[in-house]
Chain A
Amino acid sequence: QQQVKQSPQSLIVQKGGISIINCAYENTAFDYFPWYQQFPGKGPALLIAIRPDVSEKKEGRFTISFNKSAKQFSLHIMDSQPGDSATYFCAASGHNFNKFYFGSGTKLNVKP
């Protein structure tokens, strides 16, 4: 079964708007939650990651919100730019980092 569920599948946002991508997980043993950005023909690049001991982490225009009780986490992209147009993946791993589970991806299109 899918360990990490990601939504929406695709997202269109106007330049300057906020992009929000959501992920949910079931396994309470997960304790590391990264987000990756992937451009066509390229490998994923680590954007930002969070551990469950904090509820929010911000790096520049990117923010992760984490809700441990709901087993959900989300990526917010503030002031979205056309250059942010890419596919975004959430992922989760346990404390030993032996295995990472990825969401199915969200294709973001930021309109100029």
Chain B
Amino acid sequence: NAGVMQNPRHLVRRRGQEARLRCSPMKGHSHVYWYRQLPEEGLKFMVYLQKENIIDESGMPKERFSAEFPKEGPSILRIQQVVRGDSAAYFCASSFQGYEQYFGPGTRLTVT
């Protein structure tokens, strides 16, 4: 019974490149949340998706960031034209009904 899977675990990108972060929810879970965590800080909500729908993206920067959760396959968080300030740990969490969230191990993004 695999938990939430995220890949890659570590990602290094140069400024201006694109970063794609993938999240496979737990089996049977159709709710996915993405969070960003800076060192020594709490998690900041970015976006909440259900299959094929964005429910709440109020925490997403208006530019360069996008997220999707297709009918088949993992959820993707996409960051275009990365800048140094995008360096952080990005966590996804999945849920069956929306309240008990199970987190993945995170993707550590470093922008050089």
Residues of A within 8 A of B (CB): 6, 32, 34, 36, 41-46, 49, 89, 93, 96-105
Contacts and interface: CB of A to CB of B under 8 A. Distances in A.
Nearest to A4: B42
B33 interface: yes
Contacts, number: 58
Given A43-B106, A44-B91, A49 B99 contact: yes
B42 A46 contact: no
A89 B99 contact: no
B43 A46 contact: no
Interface residues of B, number: 28
Contact of A99 (B40, B45, B106): B45
Given A6-B42, A43-B4, A97-B31, 14 more contacts: A34-B100, A34-B101, A36-B103, A44-B91, A46-B101, A46-B102, A49-B99, A96-B98, A97-B97, A97-B98, A99-B56, A100-B33, A105-B40, A105-B42
Query: Shortest 10 CB-CB distances between A and B: which pairs?
Result: A97-B98, A43-B103, A102-B42, A98-B56, A102-B43, A104-B42, A44-B103, A97-B99, A43-B105, A105-B42
Interface in B94-112: 95, 97-106
A99 B59 contact: yes
